[in-house]
Amino acid sequence: MKDFTHFNEEGRARMVDVSNKPDTTRTAVALSSITVNQDVYRQIQNNENKKGDVLGVAQVAGIMAAKKTWDIIPMCHPIPLKGIDISFRWKEAGEDHQLEITVSVKTKGSTGVEMEALTAASVTALTIYDMCKAVDKGMVIGPTQLLEKTGGVSSPDYKRLIEE
Amino acid sequence: MKDFTHFNEEGRARMVDVSNKPDTTRTAVALSSITVNQDVYRQIQNNENKKGDVLGVAQVAGIMAAKKTWDIIPMCHPIPLKGIDISFRWKEAGEDHQLEITVSVKTKGSTGVEMEALTAASVTALTIYDMCKAVDKGMVIGPTQLLEKTGGVSSPDYKRLIEE
Amino acid sequence: MKDFTHFNEEGRARMVDVSNKPDTTRTAVALSSITVNQDVYRQIQNNENKKGDVLGVAQVAGIMAAKKTWDIIPMCHPIPLKGIDISFRWKEAGEDHQLEITVSVKTKGSTGVEMEALTAASVTALTIYDMCKAVDKGMVIGPTQLLEKTGGVSSPDYKRLIEE
Amino acid sequence: MKDFTHFNEEGRARMVDVSNKPDTTRTAVALSSITVNQDVYRQIQNNENKKGDVLGVAQVAGIMAAKKTWDIIPMCHPIPLKGIDISFRWKEAGEDHQLEITVSVKTKGSTGVEMEALTAASVTALTIYDMCKAVDKGMVIGPTQLLEKTGGVSSPDYKRLIEE
Amino acid sequence: MKDFTHFNEEGRARMVDVSNKPDTTRTAVALSSITVNQDVYRQIQNNENKKGDVLGVAQVAGIMAAKKTWDIIPMCHPIPLKGIDISFRWKEAGEDHQLEITVSVKTKGSTGVEMEALTAASVTALTIYDMCKAVDKGMVIGPTQLLEKTGGVSSPDYKRLIEE
Amino acid sequence: MKDFTHFNEEGRARMVDVSNKPDTTRTAVALSSITVNQDVYRQIQNNENKKGDVLGVAQVAGIMAAKKTWDIIPMCHPIPLKGIDISFRWKEAGEDHQLEITVSVKTKGSTGVEMEALTAASVTALTIYDMCKAVDKGMVIGPTQLLEKTGGVSSPDYKRLIEE
């Protein structure tokens, strides 16, 4: 596909050729969060939300979103995901509560799965916002970031330093 | 990814890690049915439905549904389907007629294709219901079940005993 | 669109013209079920399935499927759903257990929502099958049928007689 | 559909009934951001990214994501969007550069469009991450939040106070 | 939404605001074609294609594509289609045969359905190509064009002059 | 799967079994075009279209469509695309201007990517039509055709002779 390049000299969009990259096991871990007030926190913890079990629904949404990342992010390659896991941890944030969302994705393919992990983390947070917005619209999502990535062949592994 | 498990100790949803499973040829066969009255039966057989060739449209719907099973069933792994085939057989059922729907799916991948076959069988039956419901809303779909499955590495082949 | 008809004299598929039908409030209720053995029953009830909370995930799957019915059933009109609710009830079935799945759908539109209710009920059952199939592949889905429908303008309301 | 409630007494998921809400003109504005280092900033501004015009592609991704919000967020009602607009503004952030992403969405429908605006803002940022991650994986997305919302009938308009 | 404009002064993409346009009945008719050689023609007419009834499958594909036009064409508004009809007519074309594909779409909405008709016509032709390409890869699709459009409020009706 | 055939003796649709075909590197190049009048040409070239950068948006649309070809073309196998590139070239066409659209697609899989290239080329042209139709509805798309294909195992490479 070395002739591919000159076709697109206008500098516009392309899904870059990865056919030379071998299939390897790759993982990525992304982190997002949502900061909520006391009322939302209590509703989630007591499972009193009238739309359902907030964290349970959000987890399903995140997993399904990871699988369609290729259809949401235009230049992202379709890749067969082998495992997705989403976990939660509450932290205090002044008078509010911050829910940390950690997403791990695993594949055996020719590109990394950073986007799948980041997309799943974002959609998990968005789903929590959706289910709780009748109580408070002031919830804040993120920051959202890549924590770690392993298994690429051309680019080295990545690990973010997070201070607690 | 051996740390995957403890992330999700809350007992909520996960798409389990199958990255250790090798790609093998796998098949699954599912069976569903729809029971219709005389009027519907005649309309289908005489190709007099105003929405089109009922069984032809249903077959296309079933095949397309098999391909998007991963987007319909939340914890289902995406898997590259290699072949899908749907066949029909009429049986008498008292004063009614029962259309048996058999779906065979084949892949070369790391998980089985039971869900693809079962989803295709269900959608084939639902499409027939949709096209004929102006005549009779009393049609009954199913039972829907797995007939047979081959090719897994950890779980044995499966074959249901059906008495005619 | 009275000229529409002659275009398609070959008897092939069409999505019939409903532009003359007014938007009215419409509801539909569909019933499906899944029959499972003791092991699966216990796993669901004790929330011990390693893929997650079985009924919770299945409910999310059913709701999301209802919303994309128009993309799954070829001749089905797209219609803005206003409410979806899915409930469960266990019944004994000899040595097995049968989980009844009831789906209610509501819209304000120009066609009925029978297909949305039936599709959601089927996908809810399929998701339960998917999450429990590692324990037993013999589970049986359905029969799946329409229980009731209200609000059409040309066709009368419908109510199925079910004997318990 | 007043019987809807008792069906779902298990406290699981539901898409709540909004059939009583009238169609009104509604708007929502959401804000997200992505913080990038000097190299990424220069590549975007000089249009030197090998995958294409970063902000142009991200805008298309955000608009398309807004339209499928109902398919990404499980309990979100499908709603016919009437207008979507996405704008960018660069701000300095220490040694880095922060790109502010503002998304405005408009509809005429029975529910608000907060989720559509928030989803579009998130996907716009995710797309920028995807296109630039070969240069730096340390980019940070968000915080993502609702800026303003108008046009509901039961809930009042909302406006967030942002200090510059 | 008069403030919408200045947000996007960079000249990038937007889905333009149509919230002021009333819902009216609108129709569009599009024309495409596929030119095939004798072998393909015979296979279609004698229903000997091993993938199925070529024109029947193509019609289903076209109808389903019309419904997801908003998800394929980035700046296209989602709109509730009320009727879709696809018809075929064979014409001789030298030694080859040309199949004319005519698609009529109807809606009651705030934008026209030209794109839905043109997309359906294109996908119908592409599906025929797919099913017959094992016989001949030289088939030519199109030209594809709008034949007629009615029902807009700001733009006049349109009718193309076609010489036979 | 040799028993597959007799299941479907009715001559209806099937997705043919390709599980015996090895994964090889495959490419396809497709050509489409859109012919526009002076006003549309000027608007595109001067980037004065109020919906955005016409060719940039169209390129994104084409790439995203290539990735979902399996969901648009019923009997098409899902296949992991490895690279997509779309380029443009203007030609004079009497008083009008013709924009040539060339799409190259690459995969490593068991079926060819002709349909992905042809679908992307069609959607690129359709998107340009959509963005410019407010100026002129008389634009003509295509002819659309396969230019070249390499890498199959059972069928030979293909190259169309085009006279300039």
pLDDT at F8 over 60: no
Does any domain span residue C129? yes
Which member of A85, A96, A130, A136 is catalytic?
A: A130
**Contacts across the A-B interface (CB distance below 8 Å):** 74
Binding site for substrate: what residues of A are annotated? 75-77, 115-116
pLDDT given at position B153: 81
Does any domain span residue F12? no
Are E25 and E133 in contact by the 8 Å Cβ rule? The answer is: no
* Rounded-to-integer distance, Cα E151 and Cα C3, Å: 16
Does any domain span residue F162? no
pLDDT given at position C136: 96
| Chain B: residues touching E (Cβ < 8 Å) | 52-53, 56-57, 59-61, 64
Number of domains chain E is built from: 1
Distance from CA of residue C155 to its chain's centroid? 20
* Rounded-to-integer distance, Cα A59 and Cα A64, Å: 9
Q: What percent of chain D has pLDDT over 70?
A: 91
Closest residue of chain F to D50, computed from CA coordinates: F85
**Catalytic site residues of B?**
130
Interface contact E52-B59, CB threshold 8 A:
yes
Closest alpha carbon to B10 in A54, C88, A120: A54
State the best of E35, E44, E73 to mutate against chain F, taking most chain F CBs within 10 Å: E73
Tokens 């269900």 belong to residue:
B122
* Rounded-to-integer distance, Cα D32 and Cα D35, Å: 10
Give the confidence band of F10 by pLDDT, cuts at 50, 70, 90. Answer: low
Tokens 């002021």 belong to residue:
E20
Range of the domain at C68: 21-150
pLDDT at E7 over 60: no
Distances (CA, A) of C145 to B51, C26, E71: 21, 18, 31
Q: Which chains touch A (3 or more CB pairs under 8 A)?
A: B, C, D, F
E47: helix, strand or coil: coil
The total of other beta-carbon atoms located within 10 Å of residue C92's CB is 9
Closest residue of chain C to D14, computed from CA coordinates: C85
**Catalytic site residues of C?**
130
Q: Nearest-CA distance from B10 to chain F in Å?
A: 34
Interface contact C115-B130, CB threshold 8 A:
yes
Residue D15 marked ligand-binding? no
Binding site: what residues of E are annotated? 75-77, 115-116
Does any domain span residue F49? yes
Closest alpha carbon to A23 in A60, A67, A64, A77: A77
Closest residue of chain B to C50, computed from CA coordinates: B11
Task: Please list the pLDDT of chain A residue by residue as tens digits (164 residues).
Answer: 334 433 455 668 999 999 999 999 999 999 999 999 999 999 999 999 999 999 999 999 999 999 999 999 999 999 999 999 999 999 999 999 999 999 999 999 999 999 999 999 999 999 999 999 999 999 999 999 999 999 988 888 999 987 65
**Residue of D163 and A134 predicted with greater confidence:** A134
Sort out which chain D residues have CB atoms less than 8 A from E110's CB and list them: 82
pLDDT digits (tens, 9 = 90+) for B17-44: 999 999 999 999 999 999 999 999 999 9
Residues 6+ apart with CB under 8 A from A134: D155
Closest residue of chain F to D56, computed from CA coordinates: F56
Instruction: Report the relative pairing of strands C96-109 and D24-36 from DSSP bridges.
Output: unpaired
**H or E segment to which residue A121 belongs:** helix A114-132
Residue B26: burial class (beta carbons within 10 Å; 0-12, 13-18, 19+): buried
pLDDT given at position C12: 82
Residue B115 marked ligand-binding? yes
Give the CATH number, domain containing residue E49.
3.30.70.640
pLDDT at F4 over 50: no
* Rounded-to-integer distance, Cα B140 and Cα F21, Å: 40
Q: Taking residues D7-24, what's their average pLDDT?
A: 82
State the best of D47, D50, D60 to mutate against chain F, taking most chain F CBs within 10 Å: D60
Give the confidence band of D117 by pLDDT, cuts at 50, 70, 90. Answer: very high
Instruction: Report the relative pairing of strands C140-141 and B158-159 from DSSP bridges.
Output: unpaired
pLDDT given at position E9: 54
Residues 6+ apart with CB under 8 A from E152: E24, E26, E112
Does any domain span residue B156? no
Are B19 and A107 in contact by the 8 Å Cβ rule? The answer is: yes
pLDDT given at position D10: 60
pLDDT digits (tens, 9 = 90+) for C116-151: 999 999 999 999 999 999 999 999 999 999 999 999
Tokens 């799409």 belong to residue:
F103
- Does residue D130 carry a catalytic annotation? yes
Counts for chain E of helices (H) and strands (E), in that order? 5, 7
Cis peptide before C143 (omega within 30 of 0): yes
The angle subtended at Cα D128 by Cα D127 and Cα D134, nearest 5°, is: 105
Candidate from C56, C61, C64 with C-beta closest to A56: C56
pLDDT given at position F153: 81
Closest alpha carbon to C55 in C73, C43, C64: C43
Does any domain span residue B103? yes
The pTM score is 0.95
pLDDT digits (tens, 9 = 90+) for B97-154: 999 999 999 999 999 999 999 999 999 999 999 999 999 999 999 999 999 999 988 8
Closest alpha carbon to A86 in A31, A149, A161, A144: A31
Instruction: Report the relative pairing of strands E145-150 and E140-141 from DSSP bridges.
Output: unpaired
Are D15 and C62 in contact by the 8 Å Cβ rule? The answer is: no
pLDDT given at position A164: 52
Does any domain span residue B155? no
Give the confidence band of F5 by pLDDT, cuts at 50, 70, 90. Answer: very low
Q: What's C76's DSSP letter? A: P
pLDDT given at position A11: 65
The total of other beta-carbon atoms located within 10 Å of residue F130's CB is 24
Which member of D17, D23, D53, D130 is catalytic?
A: D130
pLDDT given at position C3: 40
Sort out which chain C residues have CB atoms less than 8 A from D16's CB and list them: 83
Residue D77 marked ligand-binding? yes
Sort out which chain E residues have CB atoms less than 8 A from C68's CB and list them: none
* Rounded-to-integer distance, Cα B15 and Cα B21, Å: 14
* Rounded-to-integer distance, Cα C83 and Cα C70, Å: 16
Interface contact A82-B19, CB threshold 8 A:
yes
pLDDT digits (tens, 9 = 90+) for D75-115: 999 999 999 999 999 999 999 999 999 999 999 999 999 99
Closest alpha carbon to E80 in B6, D81, A37: D81
pLDDT given at position C6: 38
Closest alpha carbon to A84 in A123, A47, A37, A130: A123
The ipTM (two decimal places) reads 0.95
Are D64 and D105 in contact by the 8 Å Cβ rule? The answer is: no
* Rounded-to-integer distance, Cα E107 and Cα A91, Å: 51
Q: Nearest-CA distance from D142 to chain E in Å?
A: 19
Closest residue of chain E to F142, computed from CA coordinates: E143
Give the confidence band of F160 by pLDDT, cuts at 50, 70, 90. Answer: very high
The angle subtended at Cα F70 by Cα F66 and Cα F75, nearest 5°, is: 135
Tokens 């008719």 belong to residue:
E29
Q: DSSP strand E in chain A: where?
A: 14-15, 24-36, 81-93, 96-109, 140-141, 145-150, 158-159
**H or E segment to which residue D108 belongs:** strand D96-109
Interface contact A60-B74, CB threshold 8 A:
yes
Does any domain span residue F34? yes
Q: What's E144's DSSP letter? A: B
pLDDT digits (tens, 9 = 90+) for E50-93: 999 999 999 999 999 999 999 999 999 999 999 999 999 999 99
Q: Nearest-CA distance from E53 to chain B in Å?
A: 8
pLDDT at C8 over 90: no
Sort out which chain D residues have CB atoms less than 8 A from E77's CB and list them: 80-82
Are E14 and E75 in contact by the 8 Å Cβ rule? The answer is: yes
* Rounded-to-integer distance, Cα C107 and Cα A137, Å: 26
* Rounded-to-integer distance, Cα B69 and Cα B77, Å: 9
Interface contact E14-D56, CB threshold 8 A:
no
Give the confidence band of D67 by pLDDT, cuts at 50, 70, 90. Answer: very high
* Rounded-to-integer distance, Cα F104 and Cα F147, Å: 10
* Rounded-to-integer distance, Cα A97 and Cα A84, Å: 25
Are C146 and C118 in contact by the 8 Å Cβ rule? The answer is: yes
Closest alpha carbon to A22 in A81, A80, A109, A112: A109
Give the confidence band of D1 by pLDDT, cuts at 50, 70, 90. Answer: very low
Give the confidence band of C2 by pLDDT, cuts at 50, 70, 90. Answer: very low
pLDDT digits (tens, 9 = 90+) for C48-93: 999 999 999 999 999 999 999 999 999 999 999 999 999 999 999 9
Q: Nearest-CA distance from B6 to chain F in Å?
A: 32
Candidate from E56, E61, E64 with C-beta closest to B56: E56
